[in-house]
Amino acid sequence: MSNASGLHTQAALDHEAAAKHHHKAAECHDQNKVSDAKVSSKSAMGCCNSAHKSSATACQNTAK
């Protein structure tokens, strides 16, 4: 696997992790479990931040 491929794979994994936390937060809201939704939301935000950074790195690497 090339470095660029690895970077894009990591970005995709980070986005998938964020999506899982977003889905969990939505489920918690549907079940009126606001406290659990807050926890999942914070996790989603952390994953989103990581995903944004890894996406930027991957795309910048490919654009070179």
Q: Where are the domains of the chain?
A: 3-63
Predicted local confidence at residue 2, as pLDDT = 81
Tokens linked to 34: 């606001």
Q: What's the confidence (pLDDT) of residue 1?
A: 67
Average pLDDT, the chain: 95
Whole-angstrom distance, CA of residue 6 vs CA of residue 58 = 8
Split at pLDDT 50, 70, 90, the class of 35 is very high
Work out the average pLDDT over 2-14.
94
CA angle, 23 as apex, 17 and 26 as ends, to 5°? Answer: 145
- Residue appearing with tokens 């995709």: 12
